[in-house]
Amino acid sequence: MVSPAIALAFLPLLLTMIIRYRYYFVLLYRAVLIRWVRDCLTGLSREERAFQYILTHATPGDAQSILDTFDHWCSKVEFISHIGPKKGKILDRLLQEHCPITVLELGTHCGYSTVRIARSLPIGARIYSVEMDERNAQVAEKIIRLAGFDEDMVELIVRPSDEVIPRLREDFGVERLDLVFMDHWKRCYLPDLQLLEGSGLLGEGSIILADNVIFPGAPNFLRHARRSGLYEVRVHRATLEYIRGIRDGMAELTFLGIK
Amino acid sequence: MNSAFTTWKWRKTLREVRRSRQQLQRREQLRWTLKEQRRNMRNATKQQGKRVRNMKKESESKSESDSAPESKDNQAVGVLGSLTPEELEKLKEAVDERKKLIATMRGKPWPMKKKLVVLSCVLSQGVTGVFIISFLYYSNCQKWMKFQRDFENFKTACIPWEMKIKEIESHFGSSVASYFIFLRWMYGINMILFGLTFGLVMVPEALMGKPYGSIPRKTVPREEEASAMNFAILWDFGGYAKYSVLFYGYYNSQRAIGWLKFRLPLSYFLVGVGTVAYSYMVVIRTMARNANEEGGGDDTSFNFSWKTFTSWDYLIGNPETADNKFASITTSFKEAIVEEQESRKDDNIHLTRFLRVLANFLVLCCLAGSGYLIYFVVRRSQKFALLGLENYGWWERNEVNMVMSLLGMFCPMLFDVISTLENYHPRVALQWQLGRIFALFLGNLYTFIIALMDAIQLKRAEEEIVKKNMTIWQANLYNGTVPDNSTAPPITVHPADIPRGPCWETMVGQEFVRLIISDTMTTYITLLIGDFLRAVLVRFLNNCWCWDLEYGFPSYSEFDVSGNVLGLIFNQGMIWMGAFYAPCLPALNLLRLHVSMYLQCWAVMCCNVPQERVFKASGSNNFYMAMLLVILFLSTLPAIYTIVSIPPSFDCGPFSGKTRMFDVIQETLESDFPAWFGKMFSYASNPGLVLPFLLLLVLAIYYLQSTSKTYKRVNMELKKKLQTVSWEVQMYVQMSPTVND
């Protein structure tokens, strides 16, 4: 009925789609297919596999070595979506400029970004790291202790972020947050931002850094940040971590203070 | 920045209506206040003039009543005494100035009238009406200047769609705007073509020719009468639409019609030839004009400084205009940056060359594949046609159309993706893209013409059969009556019952009209679905989707300049090909272009985002013209071939009964012109005269080409000399302070 000629006419379209979105296919292969295969083969979760690799290949106590091993694993073996080396450089520069004392991190995952922030902080600073998932939090704790950061510097909280933020002041005695780093579910960026605004923990000059605002993207968050007038927004454009060709960005919001 | 910009644009359509209404009200108010001011000023000057005249009259009357001469002086002193000393000084200065001016005027060797006019123009610029020498010349001069200004404004306001195109240019850059300017230019050409065909062919036949139903070619046949008014048949241009002035077959071959003795067949032929000749002339004239403008190159230094300090227009008072101006300045900066980047690129020549050769090879493979696919499909459809089309379903009947439109949609996307290998400047990349899609569409054109030629041959074979049957039918008709030559009355048969031949010219015209309509429908539907529906989905699904649709996969579409330009050019080619056989085609195209302009302007502002690399498109104009010229040549070839080599149908059209269509010229020369004219014409068209003339033309072209090359070279050398001189002067100026020290 449908002749082969019409089917062949769709061939250019197929080729175009494949060539134009080749990086997304590569990402799909690495982030989804390989992970699924390895999960079935080894029975461990991806984070546990990462921890085992780091245990065997990195020098304990050396934050830089742990970060390098992590980068190596993510680019060569499997793919984990946290802040990569390129965007990490932007983060380092920001930390050096502002030297925050109190840092809130939403979404620890494996602890890569926690280690990255902790090594640039001055003595006496404190990071509150929030992670919702139990198993990930355990892996993250091990990695952070392996890097040599103790209880004084890094505090890991294992509860969903929308429960933690309203109770930060009472439970942990936090008065003002100098830096907030968001890297958890993109859908939660906007609600958490609004919770932070409501809780009064942000002061003038507080910085909120949100990762992956372009891919997968958090359009509502960006729209709110630009329209509300409370923030000065700047989007740092870069590529998605460990994959070249997919564009991504980090949003840096500077709280201007409620007038 | 992008998403805010696009969401702002999306709401524009609602805001625009409100704003434009407010703007209109504000403008009206402004105009009224300005009018009031102007009226007040005029009244003030009139009153001042009146006061002066009254004072003069008073002084005169007083002097008449009061015969003493001192009273005049008293009056004058009275007037002067009312002024303060500073004002007196000013008056004295003004009077001295005027005296000087008049003295200089006196010295010039001009006629008196000119002197008076110049004087009054010079004077009128300063003063508001008190020291006027010749009021009549003053008012005339002012009125003339005002008239000229208003006429210039009127001429600019008369250019259609200017504000729309300016708005699009400010947001999307000059490449997208160049498409719309091209569209507008095509509209102008089609207007002229429409005027020619409508006024000189369709209207005379409709008004002065025989009415519907009087002769067989003008009547719907008996078999088709029942369905002639159905919408489906009319949409397909059959039924009553086929037997009307829209198509070739309706026209009568009577040599002169009506009280004007209008030579319709001659007019039909000459309009056909004139259409092509006018199109050639206009295209080449535009190319020459564009080449003139391009001739001077831009060797501006401090490009960005000029742009930064002089771009803003301080006379803008309207917020929407300010937004547009802001957008256009941003766009022009982006364009300048791209130009600068391209001129500074440091590349690995061998790798680039290899990649470009590879890209061209891939494109050639794709073109060859699509050409073979089209050939295969056309062969299959010919096989189906031989076996009878009724046996096959919808897919088989429309296979050729489907394959051609699918390939036309998908192959350009593939070419676009392959062209990222080549790494050209965006303007050059656009030209390559245009060239490749052109080659693809030529395949479509070739199949269409082959199919048409086959159909014409079929119809002509049918015509022979009908001619034979005609004699048998006529014999049968007279069979029943008494074979008495002189007294038998001629049997009247209703025109609808007379068998008629298959008019191949009307069939060709119908094919072209159907093609244009289906092409238009495809374009509009693709626009609505591909652009509008996509934009709606992206805008409203973005709230509940896991990734950002605006930045990520579908996002808003960009305006496809190359596809649209080529669509326009090929469309015009179809018009040129078919206008001889379907005089309604220019009218149809005019309507289509009109609708396209509004629809596409709206779609661009509503659904599209600007391209990432915006570039100046001034160089592409001549490229479009060159392609149009090629298409014009290619599309008039088949029409001329059919006119010259295929004999016209025996019973339809203005050339029925002749052996060749161009015999009408011969006939006109013999019957309408005096004998010596015909002889002169036959001498002039002698090959012995024509060939040397052609040779002379070729030599003239060669000569003009070489002189223009030398002028260009001399121009460049002069420019270089000018540059070196200016540098030398700069160096000298820089060095001179140290020399003086």
- When divided into structural domains, chain A yields a total of 2
Burial of B630 per CB tally in 10 Å (0-12, 13-18, 19+): middle
Query: Has residue B372 got a pLDDT over 70?
Result: yes
Residue linked to tokens 């004058």: B76
B401 and chain A in contact, CB less than 8 A: no
Cβ atoms A35, A78 nearer than 8 A: yes
Query: Has residue B47 got a pLDDT over 80?
Result: no
Cβ-based contacts of A19 with chain B (< 8 Å): 417
Span B276-289, mean pLDDT? Answer: 92
Q: Which residue of A has its CA nearest to B415?
A: A16
**Whether residue A24 sits in one domain with residue A108:** no
Q: pLDDT digits over B303-349, tens only?
A: 788 888 888 877 777 777 777 778 878 888 888 888 788 777 766 78
Which of B18-27, B43-52, B284-293, B572-581: highest mean pLDDT?
B572-581
Hey, which residues of A are catalytic here? 183, 186, 211-212, 241
A19 and chain B in contact, CB less than 8 A: yes
A6 and chain B in contact, CB less than 8 A: yes
| A20 vs B7, B377, B417: nearest CB | B417
* Whole-complex ipTM: 0.76
Give the Cα separation of A16 and A240 in Å (integer): 22
B141 vs B53: which has the higher pLDDT: B141
**Whether residue A132 sits in one domain with residue A250:** yes
Q: How far does B442 lie from chain A, in Å, by closest CA?
A: 17
Span B460-487, mean pLDDT? Answer: 76
Q: What is the largest CA-CA distance in chain B?
A: 128
pLDDT band at B300 (very low <50, low <70, confident <90, very high): low
Q: According to the model, what pLDDT value does residue B125 have? A: 62
B696 vs A236: which has the higher pLDDT: B696
Query: Has residue B29 got a pLDDT over 90?
Result: no
**Whether residue A233 sits in one domain with residue A140:** yes
B231 and chain A in contact, CB less than 8 A: no
pLDDT band at A241 (very low <50, low <70, confident <90, very high): confident
**Whether residue A157 sits in one domain with residue A189:** yes
In a domain, A52, yes or no: no
Q: According to the model, what pLDDT value does residue A93 have? A: 92
Q: Which helix (H) or strand (E) holds A220?
A: helix A219-228
Which of B251-260, B303-312, B595-604: highest mean pLDDT?
B595-604
For residue B586, is the peptide bond before it cis, meaning its omega torsion is within 30 degrees of 0?
no
**Whether residue A141 sits in one domain with residue A31:** no
Predicted TM-score (pTM) of this structure: 0.72
Residue by residue, DSSP assigns A33-89 as: IHHHHHHHHH-S-HHHHHHHHHHHHS-TT-HHHHHHHHHHHHHHT----S--HHHHH
Give the Cα separation of B46 and B44 in Å (integer): 5
Closest CA to B606 of B532, B538, B534: B532
Q: pLDDT digits over B612-671, tens only?
A: 666 666 666 788 888 899 999 998 988 888 889 999 988 888 988 888 888 888 888 888
Look at A220 and B4 and tell me if their CB atoms are within 8 Å.
no
**Whether residue A153 sits in one domain with residue A201:** yes
**Whether residue A207 sits in one domain with residue A161:** yes
Query: Has residue A54 got a pLDDT over 70?
Result: yes
Look at B417 and A8 and tell me if their CB atoms are within 8 Å.
no
Closest CA to A17 of B417, B529, B611, B560: B417
A1 and chain B in contact, CB less than 8 A: yes
Q: pLDDT digits over B144-175, tens only?
A: 889 999 998 888 888 889 888 988 888 887 88
Q: How far does B378 lie from chain A, in Å, by closest CA?
A: 11
User: What's the mean per-residue pLDDT of chain A?
Assistant: 88
* CATH number of the domain residue A189 falls in: 3.40.50.150
**Whether residue A227 sits in one domain with residue A144:** yes
Span B30-51, mean pLDDT? Answer: 76
A96 and chain B in contact, CB less than 8 A: no
Q: Which residue of B has its CA nearest to A187?
A: B546
**Whether residue A125 sits in one domain with residue A222:** yes
Span B240-267, mean pLDDT? Answer: 89
Closest CA to B615 of B308, B290, B331, B330: B331
In a domain, A48, yes or no: no
Query: Has residue B518 got a pLDDT over 80?
Result: yes
A7 vs B46: which has the higher pLDDT: A7
Could you tell me how far CA B454 lies from the centroid of its own chain? 34
Residue by residue, DSSP assigns B349-412 as: HHHHHHHHHHHHHHHHHHHHHHHHHHHHHHHHHHHHHHH-GGGS-HHHHTHHHHHHHHHHHHHH
Q: A156 pairs with which residues across the strands?
A: A129
Residue A229: C-alpha distances to residues A194, A225, A226 (Å): 13, 7, 6
In a domain, A224, yes or no: yes
Give the Cα separation of B150 and B292 in Å (integer): 29
Cβ atoms A63, A118 nearer than 8 A: yes
Percent with pLDDT over 70 in chain B: 85
**Whether residue A82 sits in one domain with residue A198:** yes
Q: According to the model, what pLDDT value does residue B131 have? A: 46
B9 vs B580: which has the higher pLDDT: B580
**Whether residue A143 sits in one domain with residue A26:** no
Look at A217 and B410 and tell me if their CB atoms are within 8 Å.
no
Q: Which of the 8 DSSP states describes residue B559?
A: P
Which of B209-213, B390-394, B468-472, B591-595: highest mean pLDDT?
B591-595
**Whether residue A23 sits in one domain with residue A68:** no
Domain containing residue A27: 4-43
B740 vs A224: which has the higher pLDDT: A224
Query: Has residue B429 got a pLDDT over 70?
Result: yes
Q: pLDDT digits over A59-68, tens only?
A: 888 889 999 9
Which segment of A242-256, B195-209, B381-395, B662-676 scores lowest on mean pLDDT?
A: B381-395
B702 vs B390: which has the higher pLDDT: B702
Q: How far does A159 lie from chain B, in Å, by closest CA?
A: 23
pLDDT band at B596 (very low <50, low <70, confident <90, very high): very high
Number of helices (H), then strands (E), in chain B: 24, 0
